[in-house]
């Protein structure tokens, strides 16, 4: 019993049908369907249905979930006011986490766990609205009210910029929602499941997950990658940058993964959309140059590009402000979080691991005036 698995490396906590990640081959399957196919041909709304129901929707079912998302994307006044009041002084991920939590106040029965994916849908439909409103409030711009005749990704860009995106931009945005939607038992999903395992409500599970994704070792890397690419500045400086990081034994954002032993398959899709929108993307050129240098210096250590290396460069092409990249990752990953929460509740047992105690025991208490 006493072997410590730091970071829970290699620990299998449960069985799941939601996602298979093959780290050796660099492949991902969402409920049995190849992520490559879904990223090219599906939509985020369809993927939500798939992850929640373990099958693709019929045309009517797809229309129904699309309509449900459109009806539930507006914010309660109290949450809208919270965002307008706090956006100027609150970090985007802190404000998203607080807003998700605040949604519980507008649910008559927040602790009801009978239909967790229905409650999750109400949160997921609203997360892009929260993000766009927060950005515009930080800019001093009036909010753009969501429309009920646009798709999930399309409506996000509309409420962010105040104008409808092109079909290409909407498709690329929808692809980012699909690519970030689900990835097995990553840290933020595990956090959601631990919370759900105590039978806490869905708002608590999703709030736990948003808080967990924030860290730069996880979802926060989407932003630290851009800081890196802008620091490097030009492909010609990639070698010097990587050399310095490697010699200082510093981690390079956008690289490395607990599961992958090859390139993260999501990278190719992010790159594909960047090249379609802007073949001359400077961030893409720098990312590729850094990637070449890392593969030379750290390829034999099994350090490969992960999904965050290119995501930010695509968000940049879509006009998403850098401080909001991880909030979008959250809005997307809420699909996976909610699917795993539903699975957890279907066959629940409270998560309660052990620690190996290495401290002292049997110490005598001494009153403070005798110490
Ligand atoms: C995501 O889990 C998921 O599925 C996550 C995710 C998802 O979709 O949910 O895929 C999304 O979070 C992607 C990861 C984003 N994070 C980063 O890009 C931050 C940089 N990456 C590292 O911090 C790291 O690679 C992790 C956090 C991703 C993984 O950490 P591990 O598995 O605990 O690996 P480790 O820190 O123990 O490193 C093992 C070795 C070390 O060398 P040694 O001390 O053994 O000599 O690899 C080295 C590390 O120094 N290493 C790196 C490196 N990542 C690991 N060296 C340089 N640069 C890196 N990025």
d(CA 247, ligand 1 centre) in Å: 17
The number of distinct structural domains making up the chain is 2
Q: Which CATH number is 275's domain given? A: 1.10.230.10
Ligand 1 neighbour 17 (Cβ under 6 A): no
* Whole-number percent of the chain with pLDDT over 70: 100
- Measure 264 CA to ligand 1 centroid, in angstroms: 12
CATH of the domain at 73: 1.10.580.10
Ligand 1 pocket: which of 176, 256, 302 to mutate (most atoms <8 Å of CB)? 256
Alpha carbon 257 to its chain's center: 15
Asked if residue 183 has its Cβ within 6 Å of ligand 1, the reply is: yes
Q: Convert the pLDDT of each residue in 9-55 to its tens digit.
A: 999 999 999 999 999 999 999 999 999 999 999 999 999 999 999 99
Question: If you take atom 24 of ligand 1, which residue's CA is the nearest one?
Answer: 256
User: Does the beta carbon of 330 lie inside 6 Å of ligand 1?
Assistant: no
* Beta carbons of 318 and 128 less than 8 angstroms apart: no
pLDDT for residue 196: 98
Q: Which residue owns the Cα nearest ligand 1 atom 56? A: 251
Q: Is 257 in the pocket of ligand 1 (CB under 6 A)?
A: yes
Taking a C-beta distance cutoff of 8 angstroms, is the pair 28, 21 a contact?
yes
Give the number of other CB atoms < 10 A from CB of residue 3: 5
Q: How many CA atoms lie within 13 A of 233 on its CB side?
A: 4
| Alpha carbon distance 280, 285 (integer Å) | 8
- Residue-wise burial string across 115-129, b where 16 or more C-beta atoms lie within 10 A, e elsewhere: ebbebbbbbbbbbbb
- Gap from CA of 328 to ligand 1 centroid (Å): 21
Shared domain for 310 and 205, answered yes or no, is no
Ligand 1 centroid vs 217 CA: distance in angstroms? 7
Regarding whether 299 and 201 lie in a shared domain, the answer is no
Inter-axis angle of helices 152-161 and 116-139, to 10 degrees?
20
Listed as ranges, residues in the chain with pLDDT below 70 are: 1
Instruction: For residues 239 and 101, state if they share a domain.
Output: no
Does the beta carbon of 223 sit less than 6 angstroms from any atom of ligand 1? no
**CA gap 211, 308 in Å, rounded:** 18
- Tell me whether residue 364 is in a domain: no
**Do 35 and 125 reside in the same domain of the chain?**
yes
Residue 99 lies in a domain: yes
The last residue of one of the domains, among 317, 333, 359, is: 317
Locate the ligand 1 atom nearest the alpha carbon of residue 264 and give its number. 10
Put simply, whether the predicted model's pTM sits higher than 0.95 gets the answer yes
Are 26 and 159 in a shared domain? yes
Residues 109 and 234 in one domain: no
Structural domain contains residue 335: yes
Verify that 302 and 330 share a domain, yes or no: no
Residue 264 placed within a domain: yes
Residues 131 and 91 placed together within one structural domain of the fold: yes
Ligand 1 centroid to residue 117 C-alpha, Å: 31
Task: Verify that 259 and 192 share a domain, yes or no.
Answer: no
Residue-number span of the structural domain to which 290 is assigned: 221-317
Residue among 190, 215, 257 whose CB has most ligand 1 atoms within 8 A, to mutate: 257
By annotation, the residues acting in catalysis are 218, 257, 308
Which residue's CA lies nearest to atom 54 of ligand 1? 256
10 occurs within a structural domain: no
* Co-location of 241 and 208 in the same domain: no
Q: Are residues 266 and 208 in the same domain?
A: no
To test the pocket of ligand 1, the residue of 251, 259, 303, 336 to mutate (highest count of ligand atoms within 8 Å of its CB) is: 251
Do 91 and 184 belong to one domain? yes
Query: Cβ neighbours of residue 303 under 8 Å, at least 6 residues apart?
Result: 252, 255, 256, 294
Q: Residue 267 Cα, ligand 1 centroid: separation in angstroms?
A: 16
Decide whether any atom of ligand 1 lies within 6 Å of the 307 Cβ.
yes
Say how many Å lie between the CA of residue 193 and the centre of ligand 1.
22
Verify whether ligand 1 is closer than 6 Å to residue 40 (CB atom).
no
| CA-closest residue to ligand 1 atom 50 | 251
pLDDT value of residue 2: 77
- Report whether residue 308 contacts ligand 1, using a CB cutoff of 6 Å: yes
Task: Tell me if 371 is assigned to some domain.
Answer: no
First to last CA, the chain: 38
Residue 358 lies in a domain: no
Output the pLDDT for position 1.
Answer: 60
């Amino acid at each position: 019993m006493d072997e410590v698995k730091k970071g829970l490396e290699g620990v299998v906590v449960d069985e799941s049908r939601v996602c298979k990640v093959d780290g050796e081959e660099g492949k991902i399957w969402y409920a049995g369907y190849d992520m490559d196919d879904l990223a090219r041909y599906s939509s985020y709304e369809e993927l939500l249905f798939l992850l929640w129901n373990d099958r693709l929707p019929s045309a009517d079912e797809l229309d129904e979930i699309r309509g449900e998302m459109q009806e539930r994307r507006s914010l309660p006044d109290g949450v809208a006011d919270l965002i307008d009041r706090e956006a100027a002084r609150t970090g985007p991920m802190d404000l998203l986490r607080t807003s998700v939590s605040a949604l519980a106040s507008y649910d008559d029965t927040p602790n009801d766990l009978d239909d967790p994916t229905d409650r999750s849908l109400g949160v997921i439909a609203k997360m892009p609205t929260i993000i766009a409103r927060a950005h515009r409030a930080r800019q001093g711009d009036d909010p753009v009210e969501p429309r009920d005749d646009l798709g999930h990704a399309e409506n996000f860009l509309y409420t962010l910029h105040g104008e409808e995106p092109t079909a290409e931009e909407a498709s690329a945005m929808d692809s980012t929602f699909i690519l970030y939607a689900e990835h097995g038992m990553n840290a933020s999903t595990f956090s959601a499941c631990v919370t759900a395992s105590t039978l806490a409500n869905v708002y608590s599970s999703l709030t736990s997950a948003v808080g967990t994704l924030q860290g730069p070792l996880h979802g926060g890397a989407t932003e630290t990658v851009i800081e890196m690419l802008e620091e490097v500045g030009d492909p010609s400086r990639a070698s010097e940058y990587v050399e310095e990081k490697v010699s200082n034994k510093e981690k390079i954002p956008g690289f490395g993964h607990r599961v992958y032993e090859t390139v993260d398959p999501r990278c190719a899709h992010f790159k594909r959309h960047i090249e379609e929108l802007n073949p001359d993307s400077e961030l893409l050129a720098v990312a590729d140059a850094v990637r070449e240098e890392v593969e030379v210096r750290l390829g034999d250590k099994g350090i490969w590009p992960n999904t965050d290396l290119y995501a930010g460069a695509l968000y940049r092409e879509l006009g998403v402000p850098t401080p909001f990249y991880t909030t979008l990752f959250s809005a997307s990953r809420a699909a996976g979080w909610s699917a795993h929460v539903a699975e957890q509740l279907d066959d629940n047992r409270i998560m309660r691991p052990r620690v190996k105690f290495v401290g002292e025991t049997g110490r005598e208490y001494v009153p403070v005036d005798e110490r």
